């Protein structure tokens, strides 16, 4: 089993590599080769006995895309992307990476031909949806993204469905919820507060909450996201059918419910580290985001997220904090 990962140096990519190396297998087959690419060369994983190629590449370059699939990987995790905020600020860069990069990759697969038809797992996003929404978003709700990032993800979803229908590849697109709790330092993403109001208090630091307690959103942990990817690699093509893009399950809760979960797990002192500082700009952006899904197809196909926001916090404490929280 040869696996290619684009965007392997990113937060999800690194966690995916660690999980795959620890498992040693994917879809029940031993992993003997990893090809890891990103804009700068990813680190080689520790403890992996198979062969690893880790290199820097711009897959929007047709030759680089062909080189990436020249070894005919059996499974491709296509994670490489410019994030939402950057794709909005730098339109051309977002189009180059998110749209043209994805096209170059699937074109490289198509022109390989000779029956080469790898499983390709694509990380789409709930940013493919845009307000106004019904109270609960069903699997057949239309995609009307309100960001260039969401537009680019939606376009790649359409391409994957068509390439799969025509037999050029065997794709599955998974729309990730907002991933919380993201490890590391606060970033400038408008969604950053969903993580920081948990992460900072657990580390004994203050966090700023820029929106109302009543804001409702759709969450899953980084561990769940990696689980979605691995599960997606093994979903049966016949059961998936022609609608290859799926909204992933998640935990729907309000900011108030997030804070209540934090209080249950880490006490009043931790919850008191959240300072309310309303930011109308962030509030306006967040108001355009989807909040609640009914992801029946993904659930029927066996995808699993956390059952509660408490569980999402516990995953963070276990995976990032070595089980310890600040007193």
- The yes-or-no answer on residue 149 being catalytic is yes
If the CB atoms of residues 67 and 141 are measured against a second copy, the closer one turns out to be 141
Contact indicator for 179, 222 with CB cutoff of 8 Å: yes
Q: Which is nearer to a second copy, 76 or 154 (CB)?
A: 154
Q: Which of 41, 52, 146, 317 binds a second copy (CB under 8 A)?
A: 146
Q: Which two tokens stand for residue 305?
A: 């997220």
Q: How far is the CA of 313 from the CAs of 157, 182, 195, 257, in angstroms? A: 31, 11, 10, 12
Give the total of residues touching a second copy (CB under 8 A).
Answer: 23
Figure out which of the listed residues 114, 142, 185, 236 binds a second copy, where binding follows CB under 8 A. Answer: 142
Identify which of residues 163 and 193 has a Cβ nearer to a second copy in the complex.
163
Nearest distance, CB of residue 189 and a second copy, angstroms = 19
Q: What is the separation, in whole angstroms, between the first and last Cα of the chain?
A: 46
Q: How far is the CB of 140 from a second copy (least distance, A)?
A: 5
Query: Looking at beta carbons only, is 55 or 144 nearer to a second copy?
Result: 144
CA separation for the pair 204, 182 (Å, rounded): 16
Question: Is residue 191 within a helix (H) or strand (E), and if so which, with residue range?
Answer: none
Which structure tokens are listed for 25?
């297998």
Q: Which of 145, 144, 163 is nearest to 87 (CA)?
A: 145
**143 sits near a second copy (criterion: CB under 8 A):** yes
Residue of 15, 19, 62, 141 interacting with a second copy (CB under 8 A)? 141
Q: Find residue 217's DSSP bridge partners.
A: 253
Part of the chain binding a second copy (CB under 8 A), chosen from 49-57, 119-127, 151-159, 294-302 = 151-159
> C-beta of 111: minimal distance to a second copy in Å?
10
Which of residues 146 and 216 has its CB atom nearest to a second copy in the complex? 146
Write down the least CB distance from residue 129 to a second copy, Å.
10
User: Please, which of residues 236-295 interact with a second copy by CB under 8 A?
Assistant: 242-243
Nearer to a second copy by C-beta: 158 or 272? 158
Least Cα distance to 203 among 29, 60, 325 occurs for 325
What does 68-80 look like in DSSP terms, one character per residue?
HHTT--SEEEE--
CA distances from 117 to 64, 73, 99, 103, 318 (A): 19, 10, 21, 15, 38
Give me the 97-136 binding string for a second copy, x by CB under 8 A, dash otherwise.
---------------------------------x---x--
Nearer to a second copy, 142 or 324 (CB): 142
Both tokens assigned to 232: 């997606």
Site for a second copy in 35-94 (CB under 8 A): 91
Residues 194-213 that bind a second copy (CB under 8 A): none
Pick the binder of a second copy from 140, 236, 238, 268 (CB under 8 A).
140
- Smallest separation (angstroms) from a second copy to the CB of 60: 14
Report which DSSP code applies to 100: I
Out of 149, 168, 218, 309, pick the active-site residue.
Answer: 149
- Listed in sequence order, the residues at least 6 apart from 129 whose beta carbon sits closer than 8 Å to its beta carbon are 137, 141, 143, 144, 145, 150, 290
Angle, CA 202 vertex, CA 10 and CA 312 arms, to 5°: 60
Contact 199, 207 (CB under 8 A): yes
The secondary element (H helix, E strand) that includes residue 181 is none
State the minimum distance, in angstroms, from the CB of residue 218 to a second copy: 18
Catalytic residues: 149
- List interacting residues with a second copy (CB under 8 A): 91, 130, 134, 139-146, 148, 151, 154-155, 158-159, 161-162, 165-166, 242-243
């Amino acid at each position: 089993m040869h696996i290619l990962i684009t965007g392997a140096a990113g937060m999800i990519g690194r966690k995916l590599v660690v999980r795959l190396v620890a498992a040693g297998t994917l879809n029940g087959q031993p992993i003997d080769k990893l090809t890891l690419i990103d804009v700068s060369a990813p680190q080689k994983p520790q403890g992996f006995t198979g062969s690893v190629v880790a290199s820097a590449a711009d897959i929007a370059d047709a030759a680089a895309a062909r080189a990436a699939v020249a070894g005919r990987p059996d499974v491709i995790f296509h994670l490489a992307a410019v994030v939402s905020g950057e794709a909005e600020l730098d339109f051309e860069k977002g189009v180059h990476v998110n749209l043209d990069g994805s096209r170059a990759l699937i074109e490289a697969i198509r022109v390989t031909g000779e029956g080469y038809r790898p499983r390709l797992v694509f990380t789409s996003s709930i940013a493919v949806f845009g307000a106004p929404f019904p109270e609960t978003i069903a699997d057949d709700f239309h995609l009307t993204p309100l960001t260039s990032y969401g537009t680019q993800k939606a376009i790649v979803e359409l391409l994957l469905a068509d390439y799969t229908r025509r037999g050029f590849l065997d794709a599955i697109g998974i729309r990730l919820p907002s991933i919380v709790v993201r490890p590391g330092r606060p970033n400038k993403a408008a969604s950053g507060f969903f993580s920081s109001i948990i992460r900072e208090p657990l580390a004994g630091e203050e966090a700023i909450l820029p929106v109302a307690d009543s804001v409702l959103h759709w969450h899953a942990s980084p561990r769940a996201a990696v689980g979605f990817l691995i599960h997606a690699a093994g979903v049966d093509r016949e059961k998936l059918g022609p609608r290859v893009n799926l909204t992933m399950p998640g935990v729907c809760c309000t900011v108030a419910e997030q804070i209540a979960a934090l209080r249950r797990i880490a006490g009043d002192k931790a919850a008191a580290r959240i300072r309310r500082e309303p930011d109308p700009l962030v509030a306006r952006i967040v108001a355009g985001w989807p909040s609640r899904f009914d992801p029946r197809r993904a659930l029927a196909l066996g995808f699993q997220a956390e059952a509660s926001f408490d569980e999402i916090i516990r995953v963070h404490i276990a995976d990032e904090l070595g089980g310890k929280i600040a007193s």
